[in-house]
Structure 1
Amino acid sequence: GNVKGGTTVGQTDEFSLRGMGETIHVSDVHATILDQMGLDHEQLTYLHAGLDRKLTGVGGNILSGIFA
């Protein structure tokens, strides 16, 4: 789908320094982008220091509502 223009997700304080309410982690954004590309973020790994690691780490939830 397409990204909805002008859409905001979440809220910040009056100075935009801290998230308010339910915050979104960068791993959630990664998981959402990978999902839109047709990739399973739980299965996508890379080799680092001899270990397979996930791009989204332990977390990473697909965000709904930001794509048309």
Structure 2
Amino acid sequence: LPIAQLATGGDGRDHNKNAFTLWMAGGGVKGGTIHGSTDELGFAAVEDRVSVPDWHATILHLLGLDHEQLVFPRNGLDERLTGVFEPRVVREILV
């Protein structure tokens, strides 16, 4: 497999934070669906981007949980699992 070494000596494991692949099946996920695309080299998402909080909100929705109501205490405040920015449920991949 070809590997692009973008940087060395930094934190992390040289994972590409600008694009990733995810495989999902069952549980309300639409089969045979491709959502989004990357540039021609696969370095960055360029169409229908999904953030990690969006993905979390979608998984919680599939589990029957309201991501806006699911909170945990942190430093005396209730913090949402999906973060402070407004995530979206990726309905395009749902049955």
TM-score, structure 1 length as denominator?
0.83
Counterpart CA distance in 2 for 1:14 and 1:31 is 28
Unpaired stretches in structure 2, ≥5 consecutive residues = 1-26
Provide the residue aligned with 2:87 in structure 1.
60
Counterpart CA distance in 2 for 1:65 and 1:23 is 12
The alignment's C-alpha RMSD in Å is 1.6
Contact persistence 2:28–2:62 (CA under 8 A):
no
Counterpart CA distance in 2 for 1:5 and 1:39 is 22
Identical amino acids, percent of aligned pairs: 46
Counterpart CA distance in 2 for 1:65 and 1:36 is 13
Higher mean Cα deviation, 21-30 or 32-41?
A: 21-30
Any idea what SS the aligned residue of 1:65 has? helix
Aligned residues: 68
Which structure ranks higher in relative contact order (CA pairs < 8 Å, sequence separation ≥ 6)?
Answer: 1
| 1:60 alignment partner AA | P
Q: Do residues 32 (structure 1) and 58 (structure 2) align?
A: yes
